[in-house]
Amino acid sequence: MMYLRKNFIKFLLILFISINLFSMEKKSDTYFVGNMPEYVPSDNESETTDSELKKNDYRFDEKDFDDPPYATFFEKIKKNNIKKNKSIRGGIVSGCFFKDMQGVIVGTSDLDAFVIRAKDLLKLSTKKYESKVLDPYLKVLEETAFIAEREKDEKLQNIKFVIGLNRPRSLSSKKNLVLYKELASLQKSPIDVRFFGFFWDFPWMKFERDKNGILIKNKKGKKVGYEEVLAFYKKFKKRNPKKAKEFRILNEKSHGIRNRMVPYRSLREVVKNSNQTEDFVKEIRTENTKTNIYLFITDPDTVDFNGCFSNYFEIADNERPDVFTSGYNFYSDKQPMVTLASELDMLVRDITAKNFPQGVYFPEPSLCLRVLPDKNNVAESFEKLTPTGKVSKKDYNMPGESKNIIDKIYENRKNPKVIFSKVRNLFTKAPARSFKNKRSGDLIFKGKYQNGIVTNWEFNDLINITKNSAQSHAYGKSWATNMLEAFEFKDCSYSNVILDERIKRQVSISLLNRLFNSYDPINLAENSKDKLLEIIKNYNEFVSEDKIQKYELNPYKDRAHEIWSYIDNIESRKELLMVLSKIIENLDIEKLDETCKNIGKAIAEFIFRKFYSDEKLENSFNTMNFNKKN
C-alpha cells in the first residue's frame, strides 16, 4: 500500500511538472502592436451644414464663380494632344482627435481647423453610434487570427492594436462628421485597441488665367490652403448651390483618380509615431523589459487572417528577425482566378527572398517590424527621405512604404534578419487593379477556379495570372525589376565606353529577365498546352542545357546599339551570368542561378497541381523528372 501511495505521489509530481513545462513552452514573451490607418467612408452627398471658418480676407473675381480657378487635379498634355487628368499627393492635417477617459471627443488642435462646430462635436460625445469600420475589422481579427481556440485564449491578449481613423477633409461638413461618429462609436471587442482620428487634405491648386481670361490647366497650378478654398466654396454655395455641389464632388472624386491623392506613406507614419503606439510599447515593457515587441503593419481590407498569428508568434519567438512577413492573398467571389494569381506571386516572392530578401517587395498588409529593446518605437520611416533626413517633397507614382522603411532598417541596424515566410498568408479583399490587365482593359479568364483546381482553361489564363497581372513577381520583367533593388552597380565599361546608370539598369533588367525566362515553364511552352505538359513532366531535362534563346535587336535600343547587339545575342546562361557579375557588385551567380531554377520548378509544380488535375497523372507526380535532382 505504501509502495502504491509513493508511486501515485511520484506520478502526480511528474504530471504537475509536465503540465507546467508544457505551459512554459506555450507561453510567449512576444507582443504585437498592430498599426493600421483606416479610411472612414461617406456616401453622404446631401447639402452641407454651416462650418466654422477663420476670418480671413479672401477676394474672388466674379468670373471665378463661372469658371472656378481651384482644382485638385490638372490636365497633363501627352503626345498627339491627348489630355490625361493628373493629381499630386495630399498632405496630413496636423493634430488629431480621440476619446478621453470619460468618452468625450477631444482634439489636439483648433476645432475650426477641422471644419466642424464645437457644439456639433459636443453632441457626438453624448450619443451612441454603431461602429461602421472598427468593430467589423476587430471581429475578423478575433475570429481568424489563430488556428486553434486554445491558442487564441493564450495569446490574443498579447496583441494590441492602434487604429488611425482618417478621411480627406471635405468642403462638406456633413461628410467630415462621419469620422467623428466613428470615433464616438461603442466598441465591443475583447482586443485591447486604441484609436484616434485625423484628416488629410486634398492637394488644392489655383490656376492662373491667360491674357484672355482663360484658365491654364495644362500644368500644375499654385498650391493653396484649404481655408481659401472653403471660403470660395461658401460664397459659391450662396450664388449657385447646384454648381457649387458639382464643383465639390468633381474635385473630391477627381475623375476616379482620388487614390493618386492619398498620402499613403504619411498615413502609416502618423499611426506608427502616434502616442497610442508608443504608450502600448512603454506599458508592455513596464511589465517585462526583455519583452519581444513587433509592430504589425496591416490594412483594413483584410477579410481573413487565416491563422497567421500562429505563424507570427512562432517566427518571433524562435527567430527574432528584424523584419518578417507571411505575404497575403487576394480574395474574390467575383473572380477566384485573381486569388490564384496572388498565390503564384507570393510563391515566387518566398523562393526569391530565401537568397535575396531585398529583391522582393514585402507587402504592407502583413509586415512585422521589430521594436529594438531600448526603443519605444520603430525609428525608421515609411517616408522617402532626402540625404539630410527630411521628408521628400517629390510626388510619387508608387508609395513603396515597406521598401522605404526596410531600406532604412538595412542602413541603421547591423546585419538585420529579414524573413519572408509563405505560411498562412492572410487574405485581403481583391483590389480593383487585380481585375485589370496592366496593358489595357479587364482581365478575361476562360478557366474556372474552384476547390483548388482550374478547369476548362486556355493558355492565355496563365498569361493573365503572370504577365498581364497588375501585380506579380511570377513574370520575368517584373521579377527582374524588383530584384534590382537587392543590388548595387559597379563602375564598368563596354568597348572603352563607360556605362551610365541608365544603361546598367536597363541591361541588368534585360539579363535578369532572360535568366528567369530560361527556367520559366510558361515562357518556354510558347503558348502550347501540350508543350507545357511535356516541360512539366521532364522539367530538369528540359532546362539542363546551358544554351538559351537569343533576342533580336530591338529598334528602340539604337542609342546604345553596340552593347545591345552583344547583350541580345548572348546564347548561354554561363555567359549571361558572367556579364551580370561584371555589372553588379558582389553578385553570387550560383545563388542567382539556383534561385531562378527553384522558381521555375515551383511554377511547374504549381501549374501541375492547379491546372492539370483532370490529367491522370496524380499517382505519377512524385516520380516526375522535375522533382528529381540533376
In the 3-class helix/strand/coil scheme, how is 324-387 assigned residue by residue? EECCEEEECCCCCHHHHHHHHHHHHHHHHHHHCHHHCCCCHHHEEEEECCCCCCCCCCCCCECC
Task: State how far the alpha carbon of 582 is from the alpha carbons of 445, 451, 482, 502, 510, in Å.
Answer: 42, 47, 20, 16, 15
* pLDDT the model gives residue 452: 87
* pLDDT the model gives residue 352: 98
Which band of pLDDT confidence, cut at 50, 70 and 90, is reported for residue 240?
very high
Instruction: List, for residues 382-412, the tens digit of each pLDDT value.
Output: 999 888 888 888 888 889 999 999 999 999 9
Pick the more confident residue, 18 or 570: 570
Average pLDDT over residues 586-606: 97
Which pairing describes strands 292-297 and 367-371: parallel, antiparallel, or unpaired?
A: antiparallel
Q: How far is CA 338 from the centre of its chain?
A: 16
Average pLDDT over residues 317-338: 95
* pLDDT the model gives residue 110: 56
Average pLDDT over residues 10-32: 56
| Model confidence at 109: pLDDT above 90 | no
- Per DSSP (E only), the strands in 238-356 are 292-297, 302-304, 323-325, 328-331
For residue 590, the SS3 value is: helix
pTM over 0.85: yes
Average pLDDT over residues 322-326: 97
Average pLDDT, the chain: 86
The three three-digit cell numbers of residue 322, written as one number:
528584424
| % helix, strand, coil for the chain, step of 5 | 45, 15, 35
| Model confidence at 25: pLDDT above 50 | no
* pLDDT the model gives residue 627: 45
Instruction: List, for residues 484-508, the tens digit of each pLDDT value.
Output: 999 999 999 888 878 899 999 999 9
- How many CB atoms are located within 10 Å of the residue 154 CB? 16
* pLDDT the model gives residue 176: 86
* pLDDT the model gives residue 395: 83
* pLDDT the model gives residue 123: 67
Average pLDDT over residues 91-100: 83
The three three-digit cell numbers of residue 118, written as one number:
464645437
* pLDDT the model gives residue 57: 76
| Model confidence at 414: pLDDT above 90 | yes
Which band of pLDDT confidence, cut at 50, 70 and 90, is reported for residue 328?
very high
For residue 93, the SS3 value is: coil
For residue 106, the SS3 value is: strand
Pick the more confident residue, 453 or 622: 453
Average pLDDT over residues 431-450: 91
Average pLDDT over residues 276-285: 96
CA atoms 432, 610, 483, 502: torsion sign:
negative
Instruction: List, for residues 143-176, the tens digit of each pLDDT value.
Output: 999 999 999 999 999 999 999 999 999 998 888 8
Which band of pLDDT confidence, cut at 50, 70 and 90, is reported for residue 203?
very high
User: How far is 25 from 275, CA to CA, in rounded Å?
Assistant: 33
CA atoms 42, 45, 50, 53: torsion sign:
positive
Which band of pLDDT confidence, cut at 50, 70 and 90, is reported for residue 440?
confident
Task: State how far the alpha carbon of 128 is from the alpha carbons of 42, 103, 163, 182, 245, in Å.
Answer: 18, 11, 20, 10, 30
* pLDDT the model gives residue 213: 87
Average pLDDT over residues 36-55: 72
| Model confidence at 581: pLDDT above 80 | yes
Average pLDDT over residues 447-476: 94
| Model confidence at 4: pLDDT above 60 | no
Q: Which of 35, 1, 605, 119 minimizes the C-alpha distance to 367?
A: 35
Instruction: List, for residues 506-529, the tens digit of each pLDDT value.
Output: 999 999 999 999 999 999 999 999
Burial tier of 427 (Cβ tally within 10 Å: 0-12, 13-18, 19+): buried
Q: Which helix (H) or strand (E) holds 540?
A: helix 539-543
Instruction: List, for residues 607-626, the tens digit of each pLDDT value.
Output: 999 998 765 444 444 444 44
Which pairing describes strands 129-130 and 185-186: parallel, antiparallel, or unpaired?
A: parallel
* pLDDT the model gives residue 76: 76
Which band of pLDDT confidence, cut at 50, 70 and 90, is reported for residue 224?
very high
Instruction: List, for residues 97-108, the tens digit of each pLDDT value.
Output: 877 776 777 777
* pLDDT the model gives residue 180: 85
Of 81-85, 178-182, 292-296, the poorest mean pLDDT is in: 81-85
Strand partners, 323: 369, 418
Average pLDDT over residues 436-447: 90
CA atoms 346, 352, 357, 360: torsion sign:
negative
Burial tier of 617 (Cβ tally within 10 Å: 0-12, 13-18, 19+): middle
User: How far is 601 from 571, CA to CA, in rounded Å?
Assistant: 22
* pLDDT the model gives residue 256: 59
Task: State how far the alpha carbon of 57 is from the alpha carbons of 172, 227, 232, in Å.
Answer: 21, 11, 11
Average pLDDT over residues 240-264: 84
Which band of pLDDT confidence, cut at 50, 70 and 90, is reported for residue 555?
low
Q: Which of 139, 494, 130, 115 minimizes the C-alpha distance to 302?
A: 139
Which band of pLDDT confidence, cut at 50, 70 and 90, is reported for residue 369?
very high
